[in-house]
Structure 1
Amino acid sequence: MDSAKHAGDVAVAVSRAFGVDVMFTLSGGHVFPLYDGAVHENMRILDVRHEQSAVFAAEATARLTRKPGLAVLTAGPGVTNGVSGVATAHFNGSPVVVMGGRAPLSRWGSGALQELDHPPLLEPITKRSFTAASAESVAQDVATAFRTALAPHRGPVFLDFYMDHLFAQAPEPPAEALTPQDAGADGSREPDSDALAHIARLLAEAERPVLVLGSDVWMDRAEQAAREFAEEYRLPVILNGQGRGILPSGHELLVTRARGTAFGQADLVIVAGAPLDFRLGYGWFGGKEGTPLARVVHLVDAPSQIATHIQPAGAAAGDLTLVFRGLATACAAAGVSPKRYAPWLTRLAEAAAAARAGDAELLASAADPIHPMRIYGELNKVLADDAVVIGDGGDFVSYAGKYVEPERPGCWLDPGPYGCLGTGLGYAIAARLARPSSQVVLLLGDGAAGFSLMDVDTLVRHDLPVVMICGNNGMWGLEKHPMQLLYGYDVAAELRQGTRYDQVVTALGGGGELVTSPDEIGPALRRAFDSGVPYLVNVVTDPAIAYPRNTTGV
């Protein structure tokens, strides 16, 4: 690199070294040198219509590719508009670097345009939030940001640059800034062998174990080791988050559809790569039909992730591939026998099969108004094994979580435990770039559509075909039905049923259609996949149907 290049060139060159191919952004003058650097480094610039979509796209890139994502936000409102995306990355453990512009140091304190001290705002939801000290420090600061984001437990890092520093000349980055280091290369991610031996003894004593595989199993590249461990010891498996697809639909050990029975009657639950949060009943399992509470084992990618609100019966932290392989060795030494679990596995497999059989009628429902489950019955007929399915919504997307079972890992995206609506268009943009030959399907509630549908313009401008399906029941279903139950009335929960979200998409240059008859869902989906453009199938569904759920997540 020519030593006369500016700091924006240096920042992009270091980002390139860490595997970044795309910069997600919304144009702003404070960050022009980063754009100039992207042009010089032949990095793709993908500009969106709202900064939240830029951060969501960077986060989805990280989750799909397991490489860092990069979002660049201009100063002030550019940064604050991206905060929900950063928070989502924080809760999902996604390695995202968000670079922000900043008013010039030479004018700091005098009321420059969009002058705001961003790092204190981002500090609670990032692994680190800081300002580059000078043009000369940019290379090391950017390298530090990426290394911090990538080190388990992964997460977002925010780094902003004074505008005058970013335009200034900067020295060529040193070699160490251009050489990513593998986290754990020093052996720090080796799991404790005594902890694994203890967990193996718990398995030897158990009669009704369940193995839960969550997002960090995928993010830590441990999906193969996890599957091999489950298959070797014949453990019933429930998949969570991006763990979905580690066992394909129909696998004999996959009992996600018997989740209630499994969690209610288990005597040992091993949760790997997922927090013991509301989605997993906060770690309280068993206790149903006269059984005692289950012992809980927590397997995580870093010690900081071990649950503290309960006392696990066992825990291990480290490279999750090493955790599963070490646990398999420890189980062999402890005399764990897969035959011990056979009656339990049979019971759960039968319960899962019964649940699927019970679903068949509604998945093929001819009810008019349309039952939401009919949409998923039709969608499952046309999904390819490598399809990326994205959920952005409440009740409508909850059905997808139950009835869409990915065939491969890394093919499912939802907002995660933060539950932020509006992720969908950013996620879809990233998915189309990351998986150019795969189907990309975005499932939208009509409420969620209101947050980011304008970014269909981004899909159109950048020629990114995506199939969007909107479940249009004319309400905020997650709020309306509970309010009716609690108070006998509801407020602030109504939308207009039949709103032509499809016409919004066509006005922006895509395609779409309104579906009001159940028999038209399948043909409309086929037209959408065949269209080769961003296409929204707007399905008017029965507003009386509410997704059944309880407060524990079990």
Structure 2
Amino acid sequence: MTVSPDRPVATPHGGDRVAASLQAHGVRCLYTLCGGHISPILAAAKARGIRIVDVRDEATAVFAADASARLTGIPGVAAVTAGPGITNTITALKNAQLAQSPVVLIGGAAPTALQGRGALQDIDQRPLVAPHVKRFIKVRRVRELGPAVDEAFALALDGVPGPVFIECPIDVLYDEALIRGWYADAAGKGSTLPDRALRWYLNRHAERMFAGSHGPIAPQVRAVALPQASDGSVQAARAALAKAERPLMVIGSQAVVRAADAQRVAEAVARLGVPVYLSGMARGLLGRQHPLQMRHQRRHALREADCVLLAGVPCDFRLDYGKHVRRSATLIAANRSAKDARLNRRPDVTAIGDAGDFLQRLSADARPAAGWTAWADQLRQRDAEREREIDAQAARRGEHVNPVALFRTLEQVAGDHAVLVADGGDVVATASYVMRPRGPLTWLDPGAFGTLGVGGGFALGVATSRPDAEVWIVYGDGACGYSLVEFDSFVRHGLPVIAIVGNDAGWTQIAREQVKMLHDDVGTVLARSAYHDVAAAFGAEGIEVRTLAELPAALARARAVAAGGKPVLVNVWLDPTEFREGSISM
């Protein structure tokens, strides 16, 4: 039977209500690992023209939804089965929560009448999930399904964005006749008083569960108000900048949570004329070569600045808990979260609201001070000196490939529409020093949680949200092990992702400090595994690189393969490096 995209399947069921709301909210892809508890949602979503992207690990589905949300500004949606399907998502959920990414996770559950009685995959899911989401929504009746989705989308975007969970028991998703048949079979045909009582109870339960579910499906897309900082805080920040001789901005992911506004935020930053460091999803906001963007020696710059604006950035470990900003400096914090704005350091100006909107309002009639030019030149000179040092480190030759030279080469080879997904420790941190994201929303890393294993899911989210992008995963060989199996998903769904595995046969970020401090490499040693052969076994192309001389041709070959529609993995053997000596974080 052929079903038009805007009509439900012939026999309506609860899954239709979920799918109708997803469609109304602009969802184009649903990320999932199949399970009988959620099958009606998948079938109904497919019937409505929503692309079903099934993966090999439930965490991957949530990572993909997370990446989609970051790039589109529309909450990303994943659906997983009950019990272990949900427990497998916890790390990805927590990562989305700490990255403030709007994700809607739909999870199956045991039948409402059998919960707590030992049904298949029946556990109390609320205590496991609730700490990691903004709201745990438990559906008990069919008519609640659509409103639950509508509420979840509004909650995910409201205030500080984050994940929301909807629990959908299996018996609210399948059609009424089928469920009543299941209940009739469960009740049996016995004539004893307990048998009759059970039949009465199950019939009564079904009546309540399906009550009000026969009317039309009418999704309600709720408008979510933009949280705006007060006019007073904008004026106070403008006055503080006007007095500053050495102002500095640090802009983070929260400033671009409204993806459609990213270009306007970039224009606002340019108008302000303040030197800026970009982090998280804000990397690439100003393109590759903007003169206001600084890349190196951020700690020194913060200590020298007399006015620091943190836009969507908390004073956590990445800013040494606020100690990078000197006490005599005027600190301005623009953040949707009052807690994050005041974390570890009380600002002189607190602007509670959307950081991107704050920057746009702050830049109105902006007049950069003439004295800032010398300050910016000083920072640029320091950047140039650091770039020369990196060039010198990249020039060092060894038996295999210098990690710095790897990313210097990749920086030259990757296309203008490249989106970079970072998944790893030492290798990815090196890439972040060297690579220059091409434009707004073209760099994805896990965020504050530092989660390994995001690569496969993030790449899926990027490739399905931006089908014209050239998608690169930069893997450490340790991180690669988490999602290497998703090359099967890339192949099945025709997603031409390019993965670079920096293969140094170890968990190098840990080993570097562990060996120095404890004189033992226990648990940090890996093999020079043939990751390219694993990718090839899934139907992708695998390329191995053991020397620097082989690298340019291998990367050119990878781009050509991906341009032809096939995913590819380049397994690059790396030499040891001291590039990030002494970089342990805690």
TM-score range, shorter chain: over 0.9
Change in 2 beyond 3 A, CA 1:198/1:552: farther
Q: How many residues align?
A: 539
Equivalent residue of 1:311, what SS? coil
Kindly indicate whether residue 231 of structure 2 is the aligned counterpart of residue 198 of structure 1: no
Kindly indicate whether residue 576 of structure 2 is the aligned counterpart of residue 543 of structure 1: yes
Q: Which residue of 2 aligns with 1:468?
A: 499
8 Å Cα contact 2:112/2:140 also seen in 1: no
Change in 2 beyond 3 A, CA 1:230/1:340: farther
Cα deviation, residue 552, structure 1: 6.4
Instruction: Give the letter for the 2:580 counterpart.
Output: Y
Cα deviation, residue 545, structure 1: 4.1
1:286 and 1:156 map into 2 onto residues whose CA distance is 31
2:314 and 2:44 map into 1 onto residues whose CA distance is 39
Give per-residue Cα distances to partners, 1:35-72, cap 9 Å, x unaligned.
12113212111111111111111111111111111100
1:367 and 1:293 map into 2 onto residues whose CA distance is 47
Which of the residues 424, 445, 457 maps onto 2:455?
A: 424
Instruction: Give the letter for the 1:434 counterpart.
Output: S
Kindly indicate whether residue 295 of structure 2 is the aligned counterpart of residue 246 of structure 1: no
Aligned CA-pair RMSD: 2.0
Change in 2 beyond 3 A, CA 1:16/1:303: farther
Kindly indicate whether residue 132 of structure 2 is the aligned counterpart of residue 125 of structure 1: yes
Instruction: Give the letter for the 1:313 counterpart.
Output: D
Cα deviation, residue 523, structure 1: 0.7
TM-score, scaled to structure 1: 0.93
8 Å Cα contact 1:97/1:158 also seen in 2: yes
1:206-217 to structure 2, matched below 5 A, reads 206-217=244-255
Q: Which residue of 2 aligns with 1:370?
A: 401
Equivalent residue of 1:271, what SS? strand
1:89 and 1:233 map into 2 onto residues whose CA distance is 31
Q: Which residue of 2 aligns with 1:350?
A: 381
Kindly indicate whether residue 523 of structure 2 is the aligned counterpart of residue 485 of structure 1: no
Change in 2 beyond 3 A, CA 1:320/1:263: closer
Instruction: Give the letter for the 1:52 counterpart.
Output: A
Give per-residue Cα distances to partners, 1:353-387, cap 9 Å, x unaligned.
22122222333443323210111111011112221
8 Å Cα contact 2:256/2:265 also seen in 1: no
- Worse-superposed segment, 142-151 or 303-312: 303-312
2:414 and 2:582 map into 1 onto residues whose CA distance is 26
2:545 and 2:263 map into 1 onto residues whose CA distance is 41
Kindly indicate whether residue 335 of structure 2 is the aligned counterpart of residue 328 of structure 1: no
Q: Which residue of 2 aligns with 1:397?
A: 428
Q: Which residue of 2 aligns with 1:25?
A: 32
- Worse-superposed segment, 463-472 or 480-489: 480-489
Q: Which residue of 2 aligns with 1:157?
A: 164
Which of the residues 553, 566, 573 maps onto 1:523?
A: 553
2:234 and 2:216 map into 1 onto residues whose CA distance is 43
Q: Which residue of 2 aligns with 1:113?
A: 120
1:474-513 to structure 2, matched below 5 A, reads 474-496=505-527, 498-513=528-543
Cα deviation, residue 25, structure 1: 0.7
Q: Which residue of 2 aligns with 1:72?
A: 79
Cα deviation, residue 129, structure 1: 1.2
Cα deviation, residue 217, structure 1: 1.5
Which of the residues 320, 341, 362 maps onto 1:306?
A: 341
Q: Which residue of 1 aligns with 2:103?
A: 96
Q: Which residue of 1 aligns with 2:221?
A: 179
2:129 and 2:69 map into 1 onto residues whose CA distance is 19
Q: Which has the larger radius of gyration?
A: 2
- Worse-superposed segment, 485-494 or 235-244: 485-494
Instruction: Give the letter for the 1:239 counterpart.
Output: L
Equivalent residue of 2:172, what SS? helix
Give per-residue Cα distances to partners, 1:209-235, cap 9 Å, x unaligned.
111111112113443443334333321
8 Å Cα contact 2:97/2:132 also seen in 1: yes
List gaps (5 residues or longer) in structure 1.
none
Equivalent residue of 2:544, what SS? strand
2:497 and 2:396 map into 1 onto residues whose CA distance is 26
1:290-305 to structure 2, matched below 5 A, reads 293-303=328-338, 305=340
1:105 and 1:375 map into 2 onto residues whose CA distance is 55
TM-score, scaled to structure 2: 0.88
Cα deviation, residue 116, structure 1: 1.1
Kindly indicate whether residue 12 of structure 2 is the aligned counterpart of residue 5 of structure 1: yes
Instruction: Give the letter for the 1:104 counterpart.
Output: P
8 Å Cα contact 1:139/1:173 also seen in 2: no
Equivalent residue of 1:270, what SS? strand
Equivalent residue of 1:117, what SS? coil
Kindly indicate whether residue 284 of structure 2 is the aligned counterpart of residue 277 of structure 1: no
8 Å Cα contact 1:135/1:168 also seen in 2: no
8 Å Cα contact 2:294/2:383 also seen in 1: yes
